[in-house]
Chains A and B, each alone.
Chain A
């Protein structure tokens, strides 16, 4: 058994609830003990850091301080939380003045942080700690014949906290292949979906998502797999908006990596939140359920 502190992140409680359901089930099958960080708060995500840098660093630091008390690596399934918490860690080391202010602020909440927490993404843990070989050995329903487009998006691999290549990553491809599925090669696998601009600049974000969906389809994939709540909601929940804006007819299910792994491990659809996908994955997954 491998032990980790677990930082779900806000999206996992709402728009990415399928991620919140599937990750713990998959972790259990893979002998990972994910212990949820007690009373975690918002990581201090990009929008926060664009409004107030010091407050954003304090939001992240409260989580890091709570995690440090327990001592395990802090694992998150959200790409945005992953870079936000990692950046806070790096900035606290690099900028003593910031560190001093954050220390004083944390003290006001009876907390302290000494820089001892390693922040990791669940995909990185699955790839490096569990490994595709071990996952492959636990597969009970091989996804033989399923054509999957691994979508890395941005923040899992950029700006880069030591995991995979920022321009030409391969880890998700290997994880998908370990399940018996075909990892489809598609050029735009690290291109941006529009991120949070989907709310404020919808036309622009839909344009970016349309390029991705088009590229997935022309390369023959039946579904997309991602590890980012924002990418998932943009490509899944807004797929109908792309279809009406661009007169397209995409019907591409967008699964979280943990959902796809769960199917291959024989975990029941309910436990993986497969009914929570807006574009239903049931038809393409039917042979494996």
Chain B
């Protein structure tokens, strides 16, 4: 027998491994499809694929279908599924993991405005070190539906008049230091 070592072909990482590799996502393999998550979810009726089905799709490798759906973007992070899951699989964290992968791979759906809202939130937090709520709201409405901003005007005005919407952002002193930290994080692997 010739003494040759055959290199295994670079195995493509399966969808379920990808989700498992994100902190909080690893327990997904122990799902028993009981449906407790969907039954507990206050927004499940709006999901293209409700939580139980979304989790099954991860196992089935239906990557693009799930990542381009509106499903995880309807998760309001209420954690009811997480505290009720009999297998401790943390569906909320799994939905967050799916959101990260969908944004990273440019698959996040245009049918939900939540991905854009999250991006505006992150831009604001990064730039100032703190979230500037008025700026974030304006940016979000301009990027999605400026007419919705008109509908929102009375709520915004109410907040403004009740001194709950400062016109200037609050900025931290250590913005340079924070930028160095986040730049290093990106260099180390970024979105994951």
Interface centre among B163, B166, B190 (most CB of A within 10 A): B163
Chain B hits for A166, CB < 8 A:
79, 83
Partner of B117, one of A41, A190, A200: A200
A94 partner, pick from B22, B23, B42, B183, beta carbons under 8 A: B23
Question: Which residues of A, 83-123, contact B by the 8 Å Cβ criterion?
Answer: 91, 94-95, 98, 101-102, 104-111
User: How many chain A residues have a CB neighbour from B under 8 Å?
Assistant: 71
Would B133 and A10 count as touching, CB distance under 8 A? yes
- Determine whether B154 belongs to the interface, using a CB cutoff of 8 Å to chain A: yes
Task: List which A135-176 residues lie within 8 A (CB) of chain B.
Answer: 154-155, 158-160, 166-167
CA distance A33 to B11 in the complex (A): 57
Instruction: Report B103 CB to chain A, min CB distance, Å.
Output: 6
Known: A14-B165, A46-B77. A54 touches B192 (CB 8 A): yes
A208, CB-defined interface residue at 8 Å:
yes
**How many A-B residue contacts, CB cutoff 8 Å?**
219
A192 touches B185 (CB 8 A): no
B-contact 0/1 string along A43-68, CB 8 Å cutoff = 01111111111110011001000000
Expressed in whole angstroms, the minimum distance between the Cβ of B121 and any Cβ of chain A is: 4
Which residue of the partner chain A has the closest CB to B96?
A: A50
Most buried by B among A11, A59, A191: A59
User: What is the bound-complex CA distance between A155 and B77, given in angstroms?
Assistant: 8
Q: Give chain B's interface residue range (CB within 8 Å of chain A).
A: 35 or more
Residues of A within 8 Å of B155, CB to CB, are 237-238, 240-241
List B contacts of A59 (CB < 8 A): 125, 178, 182
In angstroms, Cα B22 to Cα A40, docked, is: 27
**Contact between chains at A204 and B96 (CB < 8 Å):** no
Structural contact, A158 and B79, CB atoms closer than 8 A? yes
Q: Does residue A22 face the partner (Cβ distance < 8 Å to B)?
A: no
Q: Is the CB of B181 within 8 A of A199?
A: no
A51-B122, A192-B78, A275-B162 given; A167·B83 CB < 8 A: yes
Render B51-75 as a binary contact track against A, CB cut-off 8 A, 1 for contact.
0000000000000000000000110
Residue contact A62 to B178, C-beta cutoff 8 Å: yes
Q: Are the C-beta atoms of A158 and B165 separated by less than 8 Å?
A: no
CB <8 Å contact, B42 and A192: yes
| List of B residues within 8 angstroms of A42 by Cβ | 125, 129-131
> How far apart sit A55 and B74, CA to CA, in the bound complex (Å)?
23
CB distance from B49 to the nearest CB of A (A): 17
A13→B73 CA distance, assembly (Å): 27
What 3 pairs between A and B have smallest CB-CB spacing? Answer: A158-B79, A192-B78, A108-B184
